């Protein structure tokens, strides 16, 4: 029977590995070998990785790939993508190559506003709370100046603080709804520090506000935290070309392809079951670039999916139309990203990925990431409305199946050559493999 452990965080890395291997795995020697196999050989690099999080025992690797030939606003780019799923990098690369010959991708940043909130409970007269807020607003800004002065020097800072009455949704619940400009930083630490200072000032000054009754002075601060829903930190990416130039493969005519493509997007706009998978495909491209550049893909995912449901029904993030013989395809998506701070200054591969992207600003990275999502969606929907998704996906997945079977290099070469002209299924691969072995 397993027992809890006390002081695990104080153990050395070797001791942590020893404990997890002995208590939670069947083969402790193999476990220790696997974990140590993924340590970086350079001690300084490994030390850096060990200090990113707590209780580190090893590194978890993802492939870092490159999708070339992206023409974005007239600039040719190669996009780094960190992802384990086969066919994502291939799909993005294929879409990039197609649109390279049709004018490339156009982008526009529509806003960069970030949001944070102080959530509090006030049991009193709403009119007096509003009076107090108007009185304290300049004090909130003044007492936050030690936190904001460096950001303000660069052109950022606090842009607005509002008092919001949320008592219709929850009894006695109010919030300070605050907006920020954080420039090239994602800004989470800056925003949260400002919010906690607002909360302290707000609570303290309420105790001496002479127009409050005694019970009104005791404002309960519930929490102070940024929001990952950033509907005004928005970027648009688009492509367009004449319908008669929309020749994606030999199986379908351009007009038929364009019409089927638009219908597929329309279906994702009205059917949430389809929209979720549709948007997941978009996030294949977006998350891969977000990860490669050291940004928080979980925050991006949460904000993007909230935006997809902003009108009370979950819908497609992409849109398509045919107007006067012109096919257009576009995405508008909220992306709160940073190119300074956090892992961007620490992780060697993150720094390299940003160098490959020509050291973009946060706005430029927003544009690149949105394009990656749009390209991924174009590739996926193109496959769905023509040959189907499995043909290309399974061919990309073939190597994974062969590695699971522990095929030799010679066996891989023979089997890959066979499936150049045959449909790939897991059972078919196993059958050919077993014939070779026998």
Catalytic residue set: 85, 280, 296, 393
Radius of gyration of the chain (CA): 27
DSSP 326-395: EEEEEEEEE----SBSGGGGT-HHHHHHHHHTTS--HHHHHHHHHHHHHHHHHHHHHHHTTT-HHHHHHH
Q: What does each C-alpha distance from 424 to 131, 231, 248, 399, 431 come to in angstroms?
A: 70, 42, 22, 11, 11
Handedness of CA 48, 53, 58, 59 (dihedral sign): negative
CB 199 within 8 A of CB 145: no
Q: What does each C-alpha distance from 170 to 122, 224, 225, 227 come to in angstroms?
A: 11, 17, 18, 19
The helix (run of H) or strand (run of E) holding residue 432 is: helix 426-437
Alpha carbon distance 406, 142 (integer Å): 65
Residues in the chain, how many?
Answer: 438
Alpha carbon distance 423, 435 (integer Å): 17
The answer for residues whose C-beta is within 8 angstroms of residue 208's C-beta and 6 or more apart is 217
CB 67 within 8 A of CB 81: yes
With both helix axes pointing from N to C terminus, report the angle between 272-292 and 297-308 in degrees, rounded to the nearest 10.
150
CB 231 within 8 A of CB 310: yes
The answer for residues whose C-beta is within 8 angstroms of residue 199's C-beta and 6 or more apart is 118, 120, 176, 221, 224
Q: 307 in helix, strand or coil?
A: helix
Token pair, residue 110, equals 């529509």
Query: Measured between alpha carbons, how far apart are the two ends of the chain, in Å?
Result: 45
């Amino acid at each position: 029977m397993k027992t809890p452990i006390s002081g695990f965080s104080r153990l050395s890395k070797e001791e942590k590995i020893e404990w997890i291997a002995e208590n939670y795995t069947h083969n402790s020697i193999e476990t220790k070998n696997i974990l140590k196999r993924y340590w970086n050989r350079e001690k300084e690099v490994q030390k850096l990785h060990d200090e990113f999080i707590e209780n580190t025992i090893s590194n978890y690797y993802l492939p870092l790939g490159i999708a070339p030939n992206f023409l974005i606003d007239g600039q040719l780019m190669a996009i780094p993508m960190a992802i384990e799923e086969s066919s994502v990098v291939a799909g993005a690369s294929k879409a990039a190559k197609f649109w390279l010959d049709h004018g490339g991708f156009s982008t526009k940043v529509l806003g960069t506003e970030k949001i944070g909130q102080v959530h509090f409970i006030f049991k009193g007269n709403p009119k007096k709370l509003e009076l107090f807020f108007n009185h304290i607003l300049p004090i909130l800004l003044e007492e936050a100046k030690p936190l904001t002065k460096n950001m303000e020097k660069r052109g950022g800072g606090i842009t607005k603080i509002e008092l919001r009455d949320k008592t219709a949704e929850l009894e006695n619940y109010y919030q300070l709804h605050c907006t920020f400009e954080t420039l090239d930083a994602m800004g989470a630490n800056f925003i949260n520090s400002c919010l906690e200072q607002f909360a302290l000032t707000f609570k303290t000054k309420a105790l001496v506000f002479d127009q409050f009754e005694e019970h009104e002075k005791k404002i309960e601060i519930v929490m102070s935290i940024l929001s990952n829903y950033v509907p005004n930190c928005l970027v648009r990416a688009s492509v367009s070309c004449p319908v008669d130039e929309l020749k994606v493969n030999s199986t379908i005519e351009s007009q038929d392809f364009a019409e089927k493509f638009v219908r597929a997007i329309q279906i994702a706009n009205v059917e949430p079951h389809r929209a979720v998978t549709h948007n997941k495909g978009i996030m294949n491209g977006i998350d891969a670039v977000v990860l490669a550049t050291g940004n928080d893909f979980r925050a991006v995912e949460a904000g993007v999916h909230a935006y997809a449901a902003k009108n009370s029904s979950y819908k497609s993030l992409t849109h398509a139309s045919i107007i006067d013989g012109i096919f257009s395809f576009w995405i508008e998506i909220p992306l709160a990203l940073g190119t300074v701070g956090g892992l961007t200054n620490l992780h060697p591969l993150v720094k390299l990925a940003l160098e490959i992207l020509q050291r973009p600003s946060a706005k430029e990275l927003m544009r690149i990431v949105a394009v990656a999502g749009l390209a991924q969606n174009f590739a996926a929907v193109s496959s769905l409305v023509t040959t189907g998704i499995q043909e290309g996906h399974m061919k990309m997945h073939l190597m994974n199946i062969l590695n699971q079977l522990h095929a030799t290099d010679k066996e891989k070469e023979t089997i890959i050559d066979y499936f150049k002209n045959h449909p790939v299924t897991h059972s078919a691969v196993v059958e050919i493999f077993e014939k070779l072995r026998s």
